Structure 1
Amino acid sequence: MAARRRFGSIRRRESGRYQVRYPGPDGQPRTAPDTFARKSDAERYLTLVEGQILRGEWIDPDRGKVTLADYGMRWIGQRATLRPSTVGLYTGLFTRHIKPDLGGVPIGRLTTPMVREWRAALLDKGVSVGTAAKAYRLLRAILMTAVREDELIRTNPCRIPGADQEHAPERPVLSVPQVFALADKFDRRFRTLILVTTFASLRWGEVTALQRRDVDIENGTVRVRHAMVELRGQGVVLGPPKSRAGVRTVSLPAALLPDVKAHLEEYVGDDPASFVFTGPKGAVLRRGNFRSLVKWADLVTAIGVPGLHFHDLRHTGNVLAARTPGASLRDLMTRMGQDSSRAALIYQHASTEADTAIADAVSALVVAYQGGPQPADAPPDKDPEEGASGALTPV
């Protein structure tokens, strides 16, 4: 006669499979979420569970019964620090690409093979590699909270090498003559918008949020304090920059200051809160309306760069800044307003002198294109800071 088990019990069901029951740490009976084809497998499961309970590592399988759909939407809603635009992005990714296939699955039953099949199905349906990577990273973050904070599951099933990587195509970089050729094709109201965006390496939301008080002609700088965010159902709202590093003061190339000053005098109200770049009737600019208004596709084709995105102007500015001798990676990241946990050491206080040197170098390129002399009030050359040459980073 077999000896009675000291922990839990195993019962053979009519189907021939074995069912496991055991007492949880609270003394209440628990039933294993699955049955077993062999008794030896059931015994091994009991031994594993007993060890987890003794070590304090056991997680109640009932807690993992919440579906991914419910948990994921709660996860997004509870992230109070997310910008409204990021909440919209996450909600869209979750509802379109995660919830349809995995939403009904209890998170405790999600496995790595299931995640792998889900990702493959996305790609088979024509979802881009970039979008699939974003959806995968979101799913991984949600389930990491379930592991580390809520202790609903023991391990994160998102363990697919390379699934979080995007392979974005190379974006075009304009030459200085091309930047001016493009700017000159715009109505005068928008010409300076193109130049400032490019040579100050600003994002669309940042440049359209600039106010008169943010522009310091005397010191040749713009202060980035806000960003315009387009929200579905709410229109354009003034919010914070993309990250903490996005709040910054950027030096303008001295060669651009006459253009900026003329723009302020002609198109911007005297109120310090007046926006620097607006539509013909003074309204806040919206990206889609701007593209239609200026016939963006026609203009970029006319200068020989069809398919150019507005964001490529910032990319061009980043490349020009990265070519500045002596500009360290820290200086470049500060100018660009980049923030990354992978480069924590970069985010030290970069010097104003280094950013001014970058602006001076870009200004020299502009002056060379224009064929004029160096501005008389341009600061003298400064000793370059020690550090590695700036390396390009994704923007």
Structure 2
Amino acid sequence: MAYARKRIGKDGKPRYTGCYLDLQGRERSAGTFGEKRRAERAAQEAEFRQREGRVGDPKRGKQRFREYVVGTWFPHHVVEAKTRETYRYNLHAHILPWFGTTRMSEIMPGDVREWVTDQVNRGMSPQTIDKNMTILSAIFTTALNDQITFLHPCKGVKIPVAPKKPLRIITSEQFDAIYQNVKVVSLQLLVELDIESGMRWGEITEMRPRDLDFANSIVTVSRAVVEVTPEDRRNQAVMATHDFPAAR
């Protein structure tokens, strides 16, 4: 229940702090006022926002974008190793330089639109802008879910449409030319498996005998190898030695 706490200021006049309890039962301040009625109203409004689901600590939204992304979001964002490498590059090249010093709660849709316009003016491709927006949107989706912000500034922001690249499919003659120039029998088998199954290089090179079911003519794809930078390998080693909370 919201209430006002009275205290005497340095000038000898009474001051009132609007107080309410959060979901953990901790006392929170909604501000200090010169009138008891205003303090109670502020506390009641804070309680109302809490009942709407806006229960986060406003102080968390004051942290800088770079601080949140580098210190909290990126280390615990679960993605494949190769994707993590791409995220790291795009963050440092295109996202952190623009938003890094801004407080999380102060980033608005207009700021994101300006960022998109800047990328267009610098001649970045629609595909790159789309990747950058995907990363930025993922950051604010997490921040919104964790109640660090109460607004998703990427919602409704338009980006240039990335044209779809036509698929280039080799002809039978081109495949025969490739196959005939592969002199090692084991590699010929890999080429045949690739063209017949559509599997990727990383999936084929991770194949094991137990993945082949000759009786039912089934190939099971359960692993893939990816190339990562030394920094990503170090980060994976660190994560393997720590207990992180499961993804939700």
Q: By the TM > 0.5 criterion, same fold?
A: yes
Q: What's the CA shift string for 1:249-307, capped at 9, x where partnerless?
A: xxxxxxxxxxxxxxxxxxxxxxxxxxxxxxxxxxxxxxxxxxxxxxxxxxxxxxxxxxx
- Show the counterpart of 2:65: 68
Are the counterparts in 1 of residues 126 and 160 from structure 2 also a CA contact under 8 Å? no
- Show the counterpart of 2:123: 126
CA–CA distance in structure 2, aligned partners of residues 136 and 233 of structure 1: 26
1:156 aligned onto 2:152: yes
Letter matched to residue 220 of structure 1 = S
- Show the counterpart of 1:91: 88
Instruction: Give the deviation of 1:50 after TM superposition.
Output: 5.7
Instruction: Give the deviation of 1:94 after TM superposition.
Output: 1.4
Are the counterparts in 1 of residues 81 and 232 from structure 2 also a CA contact under 8 Å? no
Instruction: Say what the alpha-carbon RMSD is for the aligned residues.
Output: 3.3
Q: Unaligned stretches of 5+ in structure 1?
A: 1-6, 8-20, 32-46, 237-395
Instruction: Give the deviation of 1:165 after TM superposition.
Output: 6.0
1:181 aligned onto 2:183: no
Displacement over 6 Å in runs of 4+: none
Q: What's the CA shift string for 1:338-387, capped at 9, x where partnerless?
A: xxxxxxxxxxxxxxxxxxxxxxxxxxxxxxxxxxxxxxxxxxxxxxxxxx
Q: 1:222 to 1:49 in 2, by over 3 A?
A: same
Are the counterparts in 1 of residues 207 and 221 from structure 2 also a CA contact under 8 Å? yes
Larger Rg: 1
- Show the counterpart of 1:194: 191
- Show the counterpart of 1:77: 75
CA–CA distance in structure 2, aligned partners of residues 128 and 163 of structure 1: 11
Instruction: Give the deviation of 1:29 after TM superposition.
Output: 5.2
- Show the counterpart of 1:205: 202
Are the counterparts in 2 of residues 63 and 152 from structure 1 also a CA contact under 8 Å? yes
Are the counterparts in 2 of residues 205 and 228 from structure 1 also a CA contact under 8 Å? yes
Q: 1:109 to 1:55 in 2, by over 3 A?
A: closer
Matches within 5 A, 1:54-65: 54-56=48-50, 57=52, 58=54, 60-65=57-62
Q: 1:235 to 1:97 in 2, by over 3 A?
A: closer
Q: Unaligned stretches of 5+ in structure 2?
A: 5-15, 21-26, 33-40, 234-248
Letter matched to residue 132 of structure 1 = I
Instruction: Give the deviation of 1:71 after TM superposition.
Output: 1.2
CA–CA distance in structure 1, aligned partners of residues 157 and 166 of structure 2: 23
